[in-house]
Amino acid sequence: MNDKAIGIFDSGLGGLTTVKEMAKILPGEDIIYFGDTLRVPYGNRSRETIIKYAMDDVKFLLKQDVKMIIAACGTVSSVATGLGLDIKIPFTGVVEPTAMAAYLSTKNKRIGVIGTTATIKTNSYKKEIKRLDPEIEVIEKDCPLFVPLVENGFIGNDTITTLVAEKYLLPIKNSNVDTLILGCTHYPIIQPIIERIMGRGVAIIDSGKATAKFAAKKLKELNLLNKKGKKGIHSFFVSDSIESFSKTADIFLGEESRCFVKKVDI
Residues with a catalytic annotation lie at 73, 184
- Among residues 2 and 44, whose Cβ is nearest to ligand DGL? 44
Q: Considering the complex, what minimum distance in angstroms separates the CB of residue 93 from ligand DGL?
A: 10
Q: Considering the complex, what minimum distance in angstroms separates the CB of residue 108 from ligand DGL?
A: 26
- Among residues 116 and 122, whose Cβ is nearest to ligand DGL? 116
Q: Considering the complex, what minimum distance in angstroms separates the CB of residue 79 from ligand DGL?
A: 9
Q: Considering the complex, what minimum distance in angstroms separates the CB of residue 104 from ligand DGL?
A: 21
Beta bridge partners of 8: 33, 70
**Using an 8 Å Cβ cutoff, are 69 and 246 in contact?**
no
Contacting residues for 160 by C-beta, under 8 A, at least 6 apart: 149, 154
Q: Considering the complex, what minimum distance in angstroms separates the CB of residue 19 from ligand DGL?
A: 12
Footprint on this chain of ligand DGL (rule: CB under 6 A): 10-12, 14, 40-43, 73-75, 116, 119, 147, 184-186
- Among residues 50 and 224, whose Cβ is nearest to ligand DGL? 50
Q: How far is CA 110 from the centre of its chain?
A: 22
Q: How many residues does the chain have?
A: 266
State whether residue 8 is helix, strand or coil: strand
State whether residue 69 is helix, strand or coil: strand
Q: Considering the complex, what minimum distance in angstroms separates the CB of residue 184 from ligand DGL?
A: 4
Measured distance CA(195)–CA(198) in Å, rounded: 5
State whether residue 239 is helix, strand or coil: coil
- Rounded to 5 degrees, what are φ and ψ at 79? -95, -45
- Among residues 73 and 111, whose Cβ is nearest to ligand DGL? 73
Q: Which of 188, 104, 105, 95 is nearest to 140 (CA)?
A: 95
Q: Which of 203, 198, 5 is nearest to 103 (CA)?
A: 203
- Among residues 10 and 224, whose Cβ is nearest to ligand DGL? 10
Give the ranges where the chain is alpha helix by DSSP (H): 16-25, 47-63, 74-79, 95-105, 117-122, 124-132, 146-151, 159-174, 191-198, 207-221, 242-253
Measured distance CA(234)–CA(253) in Å, rounded: 11
- Among residues 38 and 89, whose Cβ is nearest to ligand DGL? 38
